[in-house]
């Protein structure tokens, strides 16, 4: 897979996750396994990566850890929707 198509896949997955989170207030990683990610480990890694980018909020006071979309995540979701057209 060339770098350009790898980035397209990554951005399409990112958009899927951000849109999924925008519909809910908070999710736990297992909810992504049912809908987007192939394994629970992949869901944890992906959510952690998006959190580091500032696109997600993280509630560590909840077990398991919950994630919600940040304002930056909402802005990125809109940007990805525009460039995907």
**Residue ranges of domains in the chain:** 3-84
Predicted pLDDT at 7: 63
State in words which class domain 3-84 has. mainly alpha
Predicted pLDDT at 67: 96
Predicted pLDDT at 3: 66
Predicted pLDDT at 43: 92
CA atoms of 72 and 70, how far apart (whole Å): 5
Tens-digit pLDDT profile for residues 6-44: 667 668 889 999 999 999 989 999 999 977 888 999 999
Cα 49 to the chain's mean position, in Å?
8
- 21 neighbors 67 (Cβ within 8 angstroms): yes
* Pairwise pLDDT comparison (1 vs 19), residue with the higher score: 19
Q: What percent of the chain has pLDDT over 90?
A: 65
Average pLDDT of the chain, as a whole number = 89
């Amino acid at each position: 897979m060339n770098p350009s198509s790898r980035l397209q896949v990554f951005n399409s997955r990112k958009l899927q996750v951000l849109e999924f989170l925008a519909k809910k207030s908070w999710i736990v990683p297992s909810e992504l396994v049912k809908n987007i990610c192939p394994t629970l480990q992949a869901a944890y890694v992906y959510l952690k990566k998006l959190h580091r980018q500032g696109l997600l909020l993280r509630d560590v006071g909840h077990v398991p850890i919950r994630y919600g979309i940040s304002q930056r995540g909402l802005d990125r979701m809109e940007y990805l929707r525009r460039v995907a057209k």
